[in-house]
Amino acid sequence: AQSVSQHNHHVILSEAASLELGCNYSYGGTVNLFWYVQYPGQHLQLLLKYFSGDPLVKGIKGFEAEFIKSKFSFNLRKPSVQWSDTAEYFCAVNSKTGFQKLVFGTGTRLLVSP
Amino acid sequence: AAGVIQSPRHLIKEKRETATLKCYPIPRHDTVYWYQQGPGQDPQFLISFYEKMQSDKGSIPDRFSAQQFSDYHSELNMSSLELGDSALYFCASSSGSSFTDTQYFGPGTRLTVL
């Protein structure tokens, strides 16, 4: 069965620090990869997605992620975080040929202190 | 831009009661997904519809049923509610059943079962 694991459940950073959130997936086929963000009390919003092509994808609000096929990873990065980035971040995957539903990781709760 | 609309936003029910959650997809989106997010958990896929037909089914209890109507809105019917059904229920929509279609999430319905 397909699964997604996010290594960091809670991350605390100071403003201007760099961010990297890990995401690994388990699935034998080709996948689409997503990062969603959930601000406190709000719904899931798409940060970025990878379908094919350049493995380095850029999203909104200065976020980027790199797909490394050999490592089954899709880590999220941001060079300099802001207090407004405080949120929960979910990595998700669906399959190009199998399942269309999104399978989510357990989420990483990021707290950025001013 | 128009987004996914869910109603009601908040719902409080007693055990063994029934609840109906509604989802209105983004205009011209024909695929709807339902996810359940328990407290502190990641979203779990329940069920999806494409062109008014069920397209996939996840961990949806037999007490729950759902359908998609001719105008593409969807309703999730929940009967014999249990305390464990308390969660945030998200609806997402996409255009078409292609695996590269991005799912856009609604604000969710927070269901509390007392």
Cα→Cα distances A103→A10, A91, B46, Å: 20, 8, 11
Q: What is the pLDDT of residue A97?
A: 67
Mean of pLDDT values over A30-51: 91
Structural domains of chain B, count:
1
- Using left for φ > 0, alpha for ψ between -120 and 50, and beta otherwise, residue B95 falls in beta
Q: Which domains does chain A have, with CATH numbers?
A: 3-113 (2.60.40.10)
- Contact residues, chain B to chain A, C-beta under 8 Å: 33, 35, 41-45, 48, 55-56, 58, 90, 92, 97, 99-108
Q: Output the average pLDDT for chain A.
A: 92
Mean of pLDDT values over A46-69: 95
Would you say residue B95 has pLDDT above 90? Answer: no
Q: What is the pLDDT of residue A98?
A: 63
Q: Output the average pLDDT for chain B.
A: 93
**Among A32, A45, A101, beta carbon nearest to B100:** A32
Give B45's contacts in chain A (Cβ within 8 Å): 101-103
Give A45's contacts in chain B (Cβ within 8 Å): 105
Mean of pLDDT values over B65-75: 96
Mean of pLDDT values over B99-114: 90
The continuous run of DSSP H or E covering A104 comes out as strand A103-104
Residues B27-60: tens digit of each pLDDT: 999 999 999 999 888 899 999 999 999 988 998 9
> Are the beta carbons of A90 and B43 separated by less than 8 Å?
yes
CA distance B68 to chain A (A): 16
Report which residue type is found at B67: Q
Classify the C-alpha dihedral B76-A109-B41-A59 as positive or negative. Answer: positive
Per-residue burial over A39-65, b = 16 or more CB atoms within 10 Å of its CB, e = otherwise: eeeebbebbbbbbeeeeebebeeebbb
The enclosing domain of B89 has a CATH number of 2.60.40.10
Classify the C-alpha dihedral A9-A65-A39-B106 as positive or negative. Answer: negative
Which residues constitute the domain of residue B70?
Answer: 5-113
Q: Distance between CA A42 and CA B59 in Å, rounded?
A: 24
Residues A8-29: tens digit of each pLDDT: 899 999 999 999 999 999 987 8
Q: What is the pLDDT of residue A38?
A: 92
Least confident range of B10-14, B23-27, B56-60, B95-99: B95-99
Q: What is the pLDDT of residue A2?
A: 80
CA distance B49 to chain A (A): 11
